[in-house]
Structure 1
């Protein structure tokens, strides 16, 4: 009989270039009839041949303890109010199956991995809309035990939604353990993924505006140890490893501030895969790459959808060119893969429909190097988690330029930012422009890329273009200084790399 270490080595190092989280909305929202074919048609069949290696299948877990798979330890999500009028989870269970079993069988039949995903403290049940209200009252773990919650509907706190559970309560930690245990016992999954970004407030302490205590960190670490121990036990029993992935903030200090002692988890060898990033980012990819290398785990870069308010800026960041650039930057920094989150069926069909599929591009970074890309200073700006997260400004180490946070010249008349680039533009035969979106373009502006002055070329759409000699660009960090002595406002910036 093989040891867990031997079993893990057999699967941990296989290529996982693209991981796709289907976000759980297929079974709960999109289906018109309760059949396997209908369920699979929404967000799953499109994965075949798309370049995706691994599906993270989140069986809702919204709110805590409420699932769309057949569960005894949790509660079946049977809500049909409002946006959930097409929920078929309970109908599939009545047929003797469930969404997880259907999707798992499909994935394995089509050479796709499946990780079961659980949101650790989802609060989509906190608003006063009919659907969320129904979600809350359907969930007896919460509705019949208000003492388990951070607050109540009438009284909120500084950070986190009122309906979040408090992990300082032993019952909550026990539930979380039992949910994972049940999945390991009943489904032939390839991995477990715990999503600590949905939503990242876990203790009353941080909800009230204070850092989590060391005792609270110990509580969460103890839970993680128990989960890993069971994963090991079950892996050896079935003689095939269950990998353990976590989606967490990309800062050790911030993570510990909210009660997640990620460093201790890594030192104890708990996660096999770390997925960093979510509603917000605090560091560039090399931070997470170095962390993963130090503790011999895999690093997956989360490319969450942008939520920039400005319509034009958001559309630019949603483009295939921008997603290529984001993935290329992650891979060139040393990421083992990228993680796509919050995509609907229309997006996925568009990406997998032809040879320009962005997921196919991501699956082959060498080919992607010579495809057009748009590299932005910032993708999400100062993102905020639903329900308000504990502040992260003091942990922020990257620029956040976007139309909602424009830049004005400092006392020396300069705006200084940088853009990460994931390729050798000159070596690959590409051309590049620095594209600046001004409120009003100053005629006397001087623009420097890595210390070399660039020349204004023309205006194109919302941008002023400055041609960059590819000799000036480097793979990695490219420093940009824009000098102007008038009261102008710089709203956005990207480097466009073109091969066509």
Structure 2
């Protein structure tokens, strides 16, 4: 029989053995968990790298209007008719990736339990919202596009417009057809009151200062990644660049706002990592943002932090405006080994405050113009081209350039029309003082430049890979009061010869030997004052192509 002292000793021994056993077991479990986590991280890194190395020369953004604006004359509705409108035509192009948008913040055409359905009937004399037609067939647009994409060898992303504000025209007596119930229920989440004019934004945008809004963003993206077989997600910050109320009111985002958004992007990245491991293939995260790190920073996007922490996989630079030559963002992204794509948005050279418009022969939204922009971007070192708002694939020019802009070598053999400026939107529309970050000149018919007497104007013009074998160049000046005899024109320091004047177009001959890939400088030395509305450089490799016929006639080459 053990006495009390002996019993206590035995109990202590048992306790020691139990604690030791539990500790060893916990340590082993902890080690196993750590090993599993490490293995999962390694697996994700490998999956991610494989996905990033995929050939992806052209990304085509489809805004979803093939659903929201389904033509009345294509009724009765069918999935095949839907594909024939737009998506199926991409099979005849060199597009590798489709980035498909199914709505805006909180309002979606795909099946959702987190957001709101865009299934409410809406029609015009020409179009209907076909979301409900998909529902009748027990499917949705995203599900069908994903199936189509994978069946035809495309990579497929889901594109989310972070803060689209086409709904700013909403009024209680004239409601926007797709007005979000969330906005009706929580007007405090918005940048302003209904109809309020704000200095640097629109009242209907959601304010990411609210944790509820940031959490909803994570939930929206998570729902798609978990329920649809997408290869990636594009967060489109350019639609629209309103993130924080203090910026919309004229201030700048601070560390607090940037931390809020960075934490949200981190959560989305972590979610894509978990989903990637679960599915056995990577779900990439792309962001479309302005092409300036300090500009992004002041509106609340800490892009350098995102790259440094590797929480974004692909950056699409550029939208309504471009602030830098392409090599700026290329170098910034290379520093952190992040893929960079050139965002080419459709030019909008028009203004409510000016009657001026592009000269009928110097048009940017053309085959020649898109060839030039893509060639410039490739020469700047981008990893590929992203096309936005060029959805009418029945247009011949779009069909043609989507088969050419994936290769700088092919582009070097094509006719191109290069401009000093392709876009005219102001970065000051979204950020007070935002124009200070523009490091490119702005020259369009609605933003002309006037030269004083006895003055020199120097302008950069960027070119793609130069093919000197057969090519020749013609520089066109669009001006109503230019005096050629009082003007000296140089390209890269060499004087070029006057050719002719045809109406408001004045042309100069540009020998190919004077041109170089990348940056070229044009100097205009004038003895008299004149207003320059536009400047374009035509590079001709095939003078028989119909697209250059009128331009060659204007300069006397035909």
Give the TM interval when normalised to the shorter protein: over 0.9
1:266 to 297, 307, 314: 307
**Equivalence for 1:488:** 530
**Equivalence for 2:407:** 364
**Equivalence for 1:319:** 366
2:391 maps to 1:344 = yes
**Equivalence for 1:14:** 54
**Equivalence for 1:145:** 186
Q: C-alpha root-mean-square deviation of aligned residues, in Å?
A: 2.0
The 8 Å contact of residues 349 and 358 in structure 2, kept in 1 or not, is answered as no
State the alpha-carbon separation in 2 of the partners of residues 359 and 59 from structure 1.
23
- Residue by residue over 1:423-474, the C-alpha shift from the partner in whole angstroms, topping out at 9 and shown as x without a partner, is 2242x43101111111212131110111100111013464211101222111
State the alpha-carbon separation in 1 of the partners of residues 172 and 213 from structure 2.
26
The 8 Å contact of residues 197 and 248 in structure 1, kept in 2 or not, is answered as yes
State the alpha-carbon separation in 2 of the partners of residues 373 and 95 from structure 1.
46
SS of aligned partner of 1:59: strand
- Residue by residue over 1:76-133, the C-alpha shift from the partner in whole angstroms, topping out at 9 and shown as x without a partner, is 1124345595001123123210000111111111001111000110111111589983
State the alpha-carbon separation in 1 of the partners of residues 297 and 57 from structure 2.
28
| Equivalent runs, 1:122-141 vs 2, <5 Å | 122-128=164-170, 133-135=175-177, 137=179, 139-141=180-182
**Structure number, greater radius of gyration:** 2
Greater RCO between the two (CA within 8 Å, min separation 6)?
Answer: 1
2:201 maps to 1:160 = yes
How has the CA–CA distance of structure 1 residues 27 and 254 changed in structure 2, closer, same or farther, with 3 Å as cutoff? same
State the alpha-carbon separation in 1 of the partners of residues 252 and 185 from structure 2.
29
State the alpha-carbon separation in 2 of the partners of residues 396 and 325 from structure 1.
21
The number of equivalent residue pairs is: 490
**Equivalence for 1:466:** 508
The 8 Å contact of residues 366 and 397 in structure 2, kept in 1 or not, is answered as no
The 8 Å contact of residues 136 and 142 in structure 1, kept in 2 or not, is answered as no
**Equivalence for 1:72:** 113
State the alpha-carbon separation in 2 of the partners of residues 313 and 147 from structure 1.
46
The 8 Å contact of residues 464 and 518 in structure 2, kept in 1 or not, is answered as yes
How has the CA–CA distance of structure 1 residues 218 and 79 changed in structure 2, closer, same or farther, with 3 Å as cutoff? same
State the alpha-carbon separation in 2 of the partners of residues 175 and 72 from structure 1.
12
Shift of 1:54: 0.5
Deviating more after overlay: 143-152 vs 120-129:
120-129
- Residue by residue over 1:211-253, the C-alpha shift from the partner in whole angstroms, topping out at 9 and shown as x without a partner, is 0121011000000000000000100111100111000010010
The 8 Å contact of residues 321 and 426 in structure 2, kept in 1 or not, is answered as yes
The 8 Å contact of residues 370 and 499 in structure 1, kept in 2 or not, is answered as yes
SS of aligned partner of 2:175: helix
The 8 Å contact of residues 207 and 213 in structure 2, kept in 1 or not, is answered as yes
State the alpha-carbon separation in 1 of the partners of residues 394 and 243 from structure 2.
32
| Equivalent runs, 1:293-442 vs 2, <5 Å | 293-309=334-350, 310-313=356-359, 316-346=363-393, 350-352=397-399, 357-383=400-426, 388-391=429-432, 392-410=434-452, 412-426=454-468, 428-442=469-483
Shift of 1:480: 0.7
TM-score (norm 2): 0.84
The 8 Å contact of residues 146 and 156 in structure 2, kept in 1 or not, is answered as yes
SS of aligned partner of 1:360: coil
2:213 maps to 1:172 = yes
- Residue by residue over 1:52-82, the C-alpha shift from the partner in whole angstroms, topping out at 9 and shown as x without a partner, is 0101100021xx2101111111111124345
State the alpha-carbon separation in 2 of the partners of residues 93 and 210 from structure 1.
44
TM-score (norm 1): 0.94
The 8 Å contact of residues 46 and 348 in structure 1, kept in 2 or not, is answered as no
State the alpha-carbon separation in 2 of the partners of residues 73 and 313 from structure 1.
49
How has the CA–CA distance of structure 1 residues 361 and 121 changed in structure 2, closer, same or farther, with 3 Å as cutoff? same
SS of aligned partner of 1:414: strand
How has the CA–CA distance of structure 1 residues 108 and 398 changed in structure 2, closer, same or farther, with 3 Å as cutoff? same
SS of aligned partner of 2:537: strand
- Residue by residue over 1:278-314, the C-alpha shift from the partner in whole angstroms, topping out at 9 and shown as x without a partner, is 0111001001110121111111101100000144348
The 8 Å contact of residues 445 and 534 in structure 2, kept in 1 or not, is answered as yes
The 8 Å contact of residues 55 and 114 in structure 1, kept in 2 or not, is answered as yes
Shift of 1:38: 2.1
**Equivalence for 1:121:** 163
The 8 Å contact of residues 426 and 435 in structure 2, kept in 1 or not, is answered as no
How has the CA–CA distance of structure 1 residues 193 and 466 changed in structure 2, closer, same or farther, with 3 Å as cutoff? same
SS of aligned partner of 1:265: helix
